Amino acid sequence: MRLMDPRTDDFYRRYAEHLALQPESPRSAMLPVVEAAMAPGSRVLDVGAGAGRDVAGMLAAGLDAYGVEPSAAMRARALAQFPDLHGRLCEGALPDLGRPFADVAPDGFDGVVCSAVLMHVGEDTLPGALAALAGMLRRSTDDRHAAPDTVMLLSLPEQLDGSLAEGRDIGGRRFVNHAPERVATLLAPMGLSLAAHAVSDAVLSTTGTRWHLLTLRA
């Protein structure tokens, strides 16, 4: 079963092969943000875990981390590089995320991380995808909103070089620029408020991509 459209899935299959020869840098830009936002021992779910470096980094930082990844090739690469992720990584994709790791987190997670994923979700699917992410967090006593001490961390790429064509980037991946303001507005009824919005143009000149990092708290 494919959890991504075929061209996006094929991109990540080829990328996993590339990573076998040239691994990613050991620390992503998201990891220090997670470390600052989450207390040691917190239970965190990384949705779109890729090759596993953030889940592995969170474990090393003392977090109880788990990951969900739709690409079979990327999951295989993650487990090959980080054997400690066995039992902490499973198949899954937005918006039909289900309840991954319900056996170890029956009440939900203290934090949810979703980095460089939502651009693969269409405009019409975005509300459901965000609801699925919010649904992974521990619930408040009325079970209607996220519990007060939970956090969601999102990174959103914004492609600005005009290379998007028919909803795809130059690598063939499905790619939609979602406005951070719309993302925050959609999450507000779920009890999550925008606490911080950082913008990075570190790779804008080389990739044409601006990155938005959103911290949302209940």
Q: Which domains does the chain have, with CATH numbers?
A: 6-18+29-217 (3.40.50.150)
Q: Which of helix, strand or coil describes residue 195? A: strand
Counting other chains too, the contacts that 179-182 makes at CB distance below 8 Å and 24 or more residues apart are 180/156, 180/212, 180/214, 182/126
pLDDT score, position 59: 98
pLDDT score, position 1: 40
pLDDT score, position 191: 94
Greatest CA span in the chain, whole angstroms? 49
pLDDT score, position 169: 96
pLDDT score, position 145: 84
pLDDT score, position 4: 87
Task: DSSP for 25-94, please give it.
Answer: PSS-SHHHHHHHHS-TT-EEEEES-TTSHHHHHHHHTT-EEEEE-S-HHHHHHHHHH-GGGTTSEE---S
pLDDT score, position 206: 92
Q: Over its length of 218 residues, how does the chain's per-residue pLDDT go in tens digits?
A: 447 899 999 999 999 999 999 999 989 999 999 999 999 999 999 999 999 999 999 999 999 999 999 999 999 999 999 999 999 999 999 999 999 999 999 999 999 999 999 999 999 999 999 999 999 999 987 777 889 899 999 999 999 989 999 999 999 999 999 999 999 999 999 999 999 999 999 999 999 999 999 999 99
pLDDT score, position 216: 98
Q: Smallest Cα–Cα separation from 185: which of 126, 141, 142?
A: 126
pLDDT score, position 72: 97
